[in-house]
Amino acid sequence: MRRQSRKQNMKKKSITHPPFDKYELYKESVQSPEADVEFLKNAYQELSGKKPAILREDFCGTFALCCEWVKFSPEHLAIGLDIDQEPIGYGKEKYFSELDEAEKERLTLIERDVLSEEGLPSADIVCALNFSYFCFKDRETLKRYFQKVADSLNPGGIFVLDCFGGGKCCEANEEETEFTDLKFSYFWDQDSYDPLNNHAKFYIHFKRHGEKKRERVFTYDWRMWSIPELRDILKEVGLAETHTYWEGNDEDGEGNGVFSKTESGEECESWVAYIVGRKAP
């Protein structure tokens, strides 16, 4: 191990951080609510030729996306739904409190299981992002959830899911992303993958500069669903059309963050795509 000079040690000790906030680091690492709002409204307009009004964010967690949605337009209403009071409570304190009174009135929060018998409120767009629905490991349960979504969509409404895959997701590996300006690293740790059932375990770790790594801050026990499996189930629950939005490349061959509707992708070690199912108008 390399020994650090005294000067380096002193420099390290002088870093000061605010209190550790797992949801803040999560937001910086994996969420982009402004980009999600753009994608959702553009996809709805492309497929329906109209502007959407009501967004329902299932598995909303801290509902950062709902907040961006109501901020974007006075015509926008949002419903956030999550089973867990902890992230909802965090979102109320950190994000909801920043909204003006009119925006607050256009946002509804529901603490509920998406599979509950009470059903799901109607919407023009329903989304389940950051792969949240991967928690449903068997087809029957996933289909039950998709059916509830299909039943709750307004005519011409869309259901938007993100999905990830590629060869790198079929093996254990850990990837570090350093956010130099924010003085921390984010680690996406794929702990296991079982090719017999596509079950996989993931962890998120964080390490702030000058501190020890905080292991397993978030844990995900998931089934990796494939795009054709998802599209088949969306059709089976009655959604008239299904589409895939695939990411374009920048000049270095890396993803450029621009997703377009297409019927053919390309083989790559790791990809993220959106699947959109549309209810008949």
- Interface positions with ligand SAM (CB under 6 A): 31, 59-61, 82-84, 87, 113-115, 129-130, 132, 135
For the record, the structure tokens of 105 come out as 């009135």
For the record, the structure tokens of 117 come out as 């018998």
Residue number with CB closer to ligand SAM (48 or 72): 72
Phi and psi at residue 227, to the nearest 5°: -60, -50
Residue number with CB closer to ligand SAM (60 or 276): 60
Q: Which residue is nearest to ligand SAM (CB)?
A: 61
Q: Are 227 and 273 in contact (CB under 8 A)?
A: yes
- Beta-strand (E) ranges in the chain? 54-58, 77-82, 107-111, 123-128, 153-165, 173-179, 184-194, 199-208, 214-223, 241-249, 255-262, 271-278
Beta bridge partner(s), residue 264: none
Beta carbon of residue 261, minimum distance to ligand SAM (angstroms, whole number): 22
Beta carbon of residue 64, minimum distance to ligand SAM (angstroms, whole number): 8
Q: Is 269 exposed, middle or buried (0-12, 13-18, 19+ CB in 10 A)?
A: exposed
Residue number with CB closer to ligand SAM (55 or 114): 114
Residue number with CB closer to ligand SAM (53 or 83): 83
For the record, the structure tokens of 15 come out as 């870093």
Beta carbon of residue 41, minimum distance to ligand SAM (angstroms, whole number): 17
Beta carbon of residue 190, minimum distance to ligand SAM (angstroms, whole number): 15
Beta carbon of residue 26, minimum distance to ligand SAM (angstroms, whole number): 7
Residue number with CB closer to ligand SAM (65 or 153): 65
In angstroms, the Cα distances linking 185 to 162, 174, 175 are: 24, 12, 10
Beta carbon of residue 27, minimum distance to ligand SAM (angstroms, whole number): 8
Residue number with CB closer to ligand SAM (33 or 52): 33
> Rg of the Cα trace of the chain?
20
